[in-house]
């Protein structure tokens, strides 16, 4: 296949591609992020009683395992995606 065939004008339309809004992207990401969040909630909830049985805050923090910290990070990212989706949605509504 020659370079002319690859870049032929027949394959390209006159219309520019429609950009996808950031609000839609973060909304879809928020919806799809539910699945990792379910797993993260399960990881946090599986050993939650050891946190409650701790005598002090430092003991409770030391009882948190590495995978639970990562699960907490996943849940925080989900919250960030939801906030960004709402923020970009409100900005787009103000523009329209």
Of 88, 90, 84, which Cα lies nearest the Cα of 19? 88
Half-sphere exposure of 72 (CA within 13 A, CB side): 9
Angle (deg, nearest 10), helices 66-95 and 34-46 = 150
- pLDDT tens figures, 14-66: 677 667 788 899 999 999 999 999 999 999 998 888 878 888 888 888 888 89
Other Cβ atoms less than 10 A from the Cβ of 63: the count is: 16
Whether residue 11 has pLDDT greater than 60: no
Residue 84 has pLDDT above 90, yes or no: yes
Furthest C-alpha separation in the chain: 73
pTM for the model? 0.70
């Amino acid at each position: 296949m020659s370079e002319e065939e690859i870049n032929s004008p027949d394959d390209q339309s006159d219309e520019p591609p429609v950009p996808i809004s950031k609000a839609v992207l973060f909304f879809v990401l928020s919806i799809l992020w539910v699945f990792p969040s379910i797993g993260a909630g399960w990881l946090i909830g599986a050993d939650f009683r050891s946190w409650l049985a701790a005598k002090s805050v430092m003991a409770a923090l030391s009882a948190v395992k590495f995978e639970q910290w990562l699960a907490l990070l996943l849940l925080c990212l989900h919250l960030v995606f939801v906030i960004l989706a709402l923020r970009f949605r409100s900005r787009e509504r103000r523009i329209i």
